[in-house]
Amino acid sequence: MKIFADTADTQAIGHLSEAGLIDGVTTNPSLIAKSGRNVLDVAREICAMVDGPVSVEVASPDYDGMMKEAAVIADIAANICIKLPLTFDGLRACRALTHQGHKTNVTLCFSVAQALLAAKAGATFVSPFVGRLDDINLDGIELISQIRRVYDNYPELKTEILAASLRTRNHVARVAGIGADAATMPAALIEAMISHPLTDKGLEGFMKDWAATGQSIL
C-alpha cells in the first residue's frame, strides 16, 4: 500500500521523503491555508521534493472554473495530480482531464455509489473519508471494504482507492488489510507508526547489554 503525507508542511514532507517513507503527498485548501503560503509556490516546492503524485485541489465549484484552474495546476510539474470534489461538475471535469492525460484525485467520497461514479469518470484515485464517517457513527473502514469489493468485481475499473481522513495507526493497519491501494495521513501519524513500547524496551535492553561489553564497532 502506498503511503501519502496529507500536509502542506514542506519541512515535514522533506523529512519523510528523505527517509523513503512516503510515496506522494495530498493537499487541500484547508492545509494550504494553514501553511500561510501561496498555493502554487507550495505545490511547486512539494513536487520537487517527491517523485510520486502530489494532489492539489481546484477551488472553483463549477466546471468551467475547475477546468481553468486545473490548467494552471497541471502546469506546475509532471507529478501533479488534480484534486476535484465529488460533485457533478467535479466528475465532468475528471472525465475531461483524464482524457487529456492528467492524473486526478476525486475527493470527499462517502459512499460506494459515489466511488463507482468516480471510477466511471476515469479518476486515477478516489478518496473515501474514513474518519469523517466515524465522526457521525458510520463505519468508515467498512466503506473502504465495500468499495474494494465493487472495484474487484470489475477489472476494467482502474481507479485506485486512496483511503483518507485517517486518524490512528489502527485506521492505517485496517485499510491496508482490506486492500486499499494507498492511504493518506498527517505527517505526525506516519511518524507515530514507527513507535511501539516493546521496540523501545527491547532497544533499551540491547543498549544496556552492549555497554556492558565495553566494545566498540568503530
CB 93 within 8 A of CB 129: no
Catalytic residue among 2, 83, 158, 208: 83
CB 117 within 8 A of CB 90: no
CB 140 within 8 A of CB 165: yes
d(CA 181, CA 151): 11
Is residue 34 among the annotated active site residues? no
Q: What one-character-per-residue DSSP string does 39-89 give? A: HHHHHHHHHHH-SS-EEEE---SSHHHHHHHHHHHHTS-TTEEEEEESSHH
Of residues 104, 169, 101, the one with CA closest to residue 130: 169
Q: What are the residue numbers of the active site?
A: 83
